[in-house]
Structure 1
């Protein structure tokens, strides 16, 4: 599978996938457990804690789980909201860790990771400034051979970048209210809601349907939509991949792909075949092993690899 110009993006997108590989089976299992427990307690209404545990918990190596409480104290809607909180917390951790790593890999010491999820003033701060600063040190090889390929990724949405940041800001403030404000809406959430609401249509976000979210009233309890949170996680993927593609023609991206090629191929330096077509095949294979797209200018890439000691003639 073709990856991205920075390994940080490969890791972060995989982490989002792993998050849902855990969440979906867990949510489905909980849904099935609910009706099984309901059926058991309806048939045996006087069942004790021990009765329920012996039926549903024994063998799991989990202790102290009161399955009966799920039957009486918690609705499926409540539990979907809890899943939404769990997903949001992990998704933001993944994105912000990725942002810190991208700042480090790009060698832009004057900027913080916040610039990768804020519009800023567009002059000295914000995502567009970060992208411009990274691209101020271009790589002719990356620009000609790889960047056009990365820009063709189906999740690259450059025109929607500003709208995606507004979406990010809204869900971030929504998450913050659930963690720090008892779930009640504060002014920051209301402001971010109003900004996102203006650009949340499918056409503005380039989505098949509107990301689901609920109206916000200052000081009132907020609601989380599991469907909306899932849609937001796709926006996070789009943001990371869109940013990665835009800086894939930079010197920082060149350093990154050289590291990926070196790591993913034999430690024994490859000698290129004297036959031109076979040598091209060798270069393409080196890139494929590193999850890079097929280079458009193989001779330029070949020279880059030779100059950096990855291959020899």
Structure 2
């Protein structure tokens, strides 16, 4: 089960689930359609496109064209490559949208055309993999420099950072691998599927990574990229990208959960929760008190705190409990 601190991260997790809830059955459906069309054409070699469309798309509201070309003449691997591009483009868009929203929440500023935290977070840190300007760790350091809440760190960070997807030590390797996928996406969208010089450089950086660098059970899945040459992208690579991005969001979300802005976000959510004043008076018994603060935290959309006393300190300081 995914656990995120910020609402934007929770929305990201839901959208990723929706994407794969579409991709998985859609790919299975296409596989079965291919099998059925191939069987029909084998039995009726002279079947027309109109006959095929009438047989396999009737009632769908969609006119199926070129079913013979799609299901008989087109290799399955080619179609899986199309699914891979859909997954890759959507995952990158989700990550970019999440980064813009999370840093707008924390800074109050929308990203401009130049560098900024929502863009820098998509690169390895300064000095890593040829990066000469700010990257992922630099952005987190900047946010922590603005202010850290020791109570938030004690109360919630241990829970969010306990996720199997939390990958703080691998942030630079993960963002280097992300750049490989991002430049493939850019080449498809802006270069007609031909690799750019930047894409080749991103592949060279990613090709130095091992499973240790990305915290995985296996080395990264990569296909060599050469400038000016057509790019091949597989569904295995797209699934790898999804895991990379999910791990980045888990890690960054956890790291930002103890910023001073996160404390205010937590308290604002507490104050806005309906019926929360009924829980204002804490029991004197320690066990019941800890259960009460855990109930409050879950009610306002967060996890049971690792350190109930720290959450109580936050609530008392804000006048929410006594």
Question: TM exceeds 0.5?
Answer: yes
Cα distance between partner residues in 1 of 2:165 and 2:23: 22
| Structure 2 match to 1:225 | 234
Tell me if 1:119 matches 2:124. yes
| Structure 1 match to 2:164 | 154
Does structure 2 retain, via aligned residues, the 8 Å contact 1:2–1:293?
A: no
Tell me if 1:13 matches 2:7. no
Moved more, 36-45 or 12-21: 12-21
Q: How does 1:1-313 map to 2 (within 5 A)?
A: 3-107=3-107, 109=109, 111-119=116-124, 121=126, 125-136=134-145, 137-199=147-209, 201-262=210-271, 266=275, 269-276=278-285, 277-308=287-318, 311-313=320-322
1:108 Cα offset (Å): 6.9
Cα distance between partner residues in 1 of 2:46 and 2:268: 64
Moved more, 151-160 or 205-214: 205-214
SS in 2 for 1:159: helix
Moved more, 78-87 or 103-112: 103-112
Rate the CA distance shift 1:76–1:291 in 2: closer, same or farther, 3 A. same
Cα distance between partner residues in 1 of 2:2 and 2:196: 42
Rate the CA distance shift 1:211–1:18 in 2: closer, same or farther, 3 A. farther
| Structure 1 match to 2:112 | none
Which structure 2 residue ranges, 5 or more long, are not aligned? 110-114
Give per-residue Cα distances to partners, 1:174-219, cap 9 Å, x unaligned. 11111111211121011110011011x2222221122322112221
Does structure 2 retain, via aligned residues, the 8 Å contact 1:167–1:196?
A: yes
Rate the CA distance shift 1:53–1:262 in 2: closer, same or farther, 3 A. farther
Question: How many pairs does the alignment contain?
Answer: 311
Rate the CA distance shift 1:266–1:53 in 2: closer, same or farther, 3 A. farther
Cα distance between partner residues in 1 of 2:245 and 2:263: 24
Cα distance between partner residues in 2 of 1:253 and 1:69: 54
TM-score calculated relative to the size of structure 1 = 0.91
Cα distance between partner residues in 1 of 2:28 and 2:269: 37
SS in 1 for 2:168: coil
Which structure 1 residue ranges, 5 or more long, are not aligned? none
SS in 2 for 1:160: helix
Aligned alpha-carbon RMSD (Å): 2.2
Rate the CA distance shift 1:197–1:2 in 2: closer, same or farther, 3 A. closer
Does structure 2 retain, via aligned residues, the 8 Å contact 1:170–1:189?
A: yes
Cα distance between partner residues in 2 of 1:126 and 1:206: 19
Give per-residue Cα distances to partners, 1:160-184, cap 9 Å, x unaligned. 1101110011100011111111211
Rate the CA distance shift 1:159–1:112 in 2: closer, same or farther, 3 A. closer
Does structure 2 retain, via aligned residues, the 8 Å contact 1:145–1:297?
A: yes
